[in-house]
Each structure stands twice: as structure tokens, then as C-alpha cells.
Amino acid sequence: MFGHAPEIPVFPGAMTAPLRLAPLAPMGVALTLVARRLIARHPGLIARLGEHGDKRFAIDPTDLPLTLLMHPHPTHTRITLYRRPPEADARIAGPLAGLLGLVHGAYDGDALFFSRDLVIEGDTSAALALRNAIDDAELDLGAEIAALAGPFGAVLAPLIAAMQRVSGVALTRVEGGMA
């Protein structure tokens, strides 16, 4: 949890299987919607990126055969999915469970980086700014997705919580730290 690397759980194959097969374009559209909604509710995210607010970030979950390219914007953030890592200003790569744990405050970015669970390439400043902005925003992707699902949210939220319990992967915001 501190200077040393936490044990990052493996994202269960059953949970990633749909992601492997799903068509990329509609998934990109859905993620773009989630991202725009998140940024509208956390304007501090863009403010904190400062001069890096217009950079393109490749987020590469190394255990999935896809990479997210995120181009942040106060109102028109875009996420596009690629099968191969695309050109970007900064690339942040790591196991999906580690990336989600970072977003949800379960892990410390420095610790994951030093242990090489997390790889940063390209513009180091931009990658650090993104990491710090996300840490400050106290995001909860599980809650956002459940909220987006409208009436299905009531079913989805406990399902996400159960998946988190079984897998050990931080799918929602963790307050006391996980490891």
C-alpha cells in the first residue's frame, strides 16, 4: 500500500470476456457519454489538468486487447477505442484492476509506478497531471454507470458491489483504501 506494490487482483476473465468481443465503436460512444457526464459533474478535473487539458491520453489496460484514447474537453471529451495503442501525447498502461483501483482511491500511483505495475510513456508531466486530477476528483465509476442505467441502476448497483466483493477489484470508490 505504501512504498511497496500492493497485490493487484486479476480482473476475472468472465468479466472481461464481453469487452473482448464487443464492437469498439458503440463502446467508445458509451464511454464518451460516461466521461462527459463525469467531467460535467467534476469540472475541477479539467482545471487541474491545466496546460495539459488538451493532450491526448492513451489508457492501455494491458490485460485487455484494447486501448482507450481520451481527448479531454470541458464539454466535448472524446473517448475512442483501438485494438492497438494509438498515437498519443502520453500513454498510461497497467492491468485493468490497477487502473480502476487508481481511479477509485484504492492504490497510490507512485507505488504502482515504482513497482512497474504501471508504465508511463511520452509526456510525463501530462500523465502526472492526469493522475493527480483523477485522484482529487474522488470519482466513482460504478455509481456513475449505475446512475446512467436509469431504472436499471437499482439492479446494477448491487450487482457491481457483488462483482467488487467477489473479484477484489475496486469497481466503486474505496474510502479506507483496499490493500
Q: What is the contact surface with another protein in residues (CB under 8 A)?
A: 1-5, 47-52, 102, 105-111, 113-116, 119-121, 124-126, 128-133, 135-138, 174, 176-177
Nearby residues of 137 by Cβ (< 8 Å), 6 or more positions away: 38, 42, 44, 45, 48
Q: How many CA atoms lie within 13 A of 100 on its CB side?
A: 23
Q: Per the structure block, which three cell numbers stand in for 12?
A: 476475472
Least Å from the CB of residue 94 to another protein:
12
Minimum CB distance to another protein, residue 140 (Å): 13
SS3 90: strand
- CB 128, min distance to another protein, A: 5
The bridge status of strand 90-94 relative to strand 57-61 is parallel
Compare residues 61 and 109 and give the one whose CB is closer to another protein: 109
Measured distance CA(162)–CA(20) in Å, rounded: 22
CA separation for the pair 102, 94 (Å, rounded): 10
User: Is 7 or 18 the residue whose CB approaches another protein more closely?
Assistant: 7
Task: For the CB of residue 164, give the shortest distance to another protein in the complex, in Å.
Answer: 16
Helix (H, G, I), strand (E, B) or coil at 98: helix
Closer residue to another protein in complex, CB, 27/174: 174
Closer CB to another protein, 42 or 71, in the complex: 42
Residue 103 beta carbon to another protein: minimum distance, rounded to whole angstroms: 11
Tell me whether residue 104 or residue 156 sits nearer to another protein (CB atom): 104
